[in-house]
Structure 1
Amino acid sequence: MADPRDVLTRPAVEGVTFGYGDSPDQVVECFGPEDGPPIVFIHGGFWRHEYDRTHVRPLCNALAQLGSRVFAIEYRRTGGAGGFPTTFQDVLAALRAVGTRTTGPVVLAGHSAGGHLALWAAAPPSDSAVEPADRSTTSARSPIPIASVVALAPVSDLARAFHDDLDGGAVAALLGGSPEEFPQRYLAVDPARSTGIDVPVTVIHGELDDWVPVDYSRRHVAEHGGDLVVLTDIEHFGLIDPESSAWSWVYDAMRCR
């Protein structure tokens, strides 16, 4: 039986990058035709520096081959220069940079920790140091218009993930500590505290996921709305593998409606 983690190191064609800041991690990698329907994809890896965008290149190439213009966001991560609020500020800055290179609304998608960041960026803005001073007038926190959100196995409840100790302290590394120690940080960036997203949201999760339990998505959709797709034969990494049986569901969700 093939190791589902093989997709993380599978060779794939690199895209073309542009920067949105001075750090080597402040870049966006572009795939596909410039006039294709735009998809912004945020990679996962529990916000940790050891995991970068290279592991989603197979997915980005597959979407590009089907005609989409894909923007894979890189951002500063924990163990490097990331954490609160830097990681979140980078996502907003990257989206703003994407907005100068595309017109019209984008599909905003992400996997695991990237799914968390997609849900966060699409939510209404909050009064927080994370928000940029030049906040746009869009209803979402995102500085560019969003057509829909696709969250693949998202870490959709940070307080619960802290207490569940997902990936050995990943949330503590991101936010500096517990919800009790930093309640305002959790209020600012936890999708479980969101007041809702006013564009279509699709959450896809594998029943066999032992990295982010599927119950996270079941609870999130029950409380915040959206469409939930649970794939009974899929674990965590199959959702970003264009060779897996999950691919038709993932691609269909990401197509611009």
Structure 2
Amino acid sequence: MALWAPGAGAQTQTTASNSAETQKSGEIYKTLYLTGTTKDSGAVDVVTDLRNMLPNARLYYVPSQNAISMRGSAEDLQLAQKILADTDRKPKTYRLTYTITEMDGGQQTGTRHVALVVVSGGKTVFKQGNKVPIVTGVLNEGSSNPNSQVQYLDVGLNIDAALEESPDGLKLRSKIEQSRVAEEKSAAGLPDPVVRQTTLEGTSTLTQGKPVVLGSIDIPETTRRQQIEIVSEPVL
């Protein structure tokens, strides 16, 4: 016959509670500071990586300090430090030199160089030219004091460069726009100028120090042609 001992259930509950306290006391708290990445350059991705790899640890990202408050086991802390050593790295910076070579009848007539500094994972925009006024409307037309509404159009050379690192090399997304005001006027008889524009846009894989031809552009109504190539190098 089974005998019931008073207080046995309470003893079991106390033992379980002591076990939980022992497990909790085995956790370690540590503040991990990020040195390579920031809130705007991948810190959130690093924290997400830690949370996925350490589901039993507690993690909280403090943007103002660029730090991670962590509580977990010694094994979790050791793995977190290893993950940060592999992922918390400052993005590399590269210099991209665009060379625009103009040809006329097979002869080189001019060369232009534009150098941009781009951070991996970022974008740099270059603009050089003039602002051309365009009349879009007239207020109080017919009165003695009409007011013209004017907008300005950027004319010249625009380059957008976005760069990312990949296992195959540097992945570059480029957009190059060249525009100029034509000599002829609008067929509608308006004072607005005619603007001729050429755009070259695409994605290329770069190898450091090796020139890559992005494309060749024929200039309308002339015998001239422009070839655009690019070369990348790390900024130390």
Question: Does the alignment reach a TM-score above 0.5?
Answer: no
Larger-gyration structure (1/2): 2
Bigger strand fraction? 2
Length-normalised TM-score, structure 1: 0.20
Higher relative contact order at CA 8 Å, sep ≥6: structure 1 or structure 2? 1
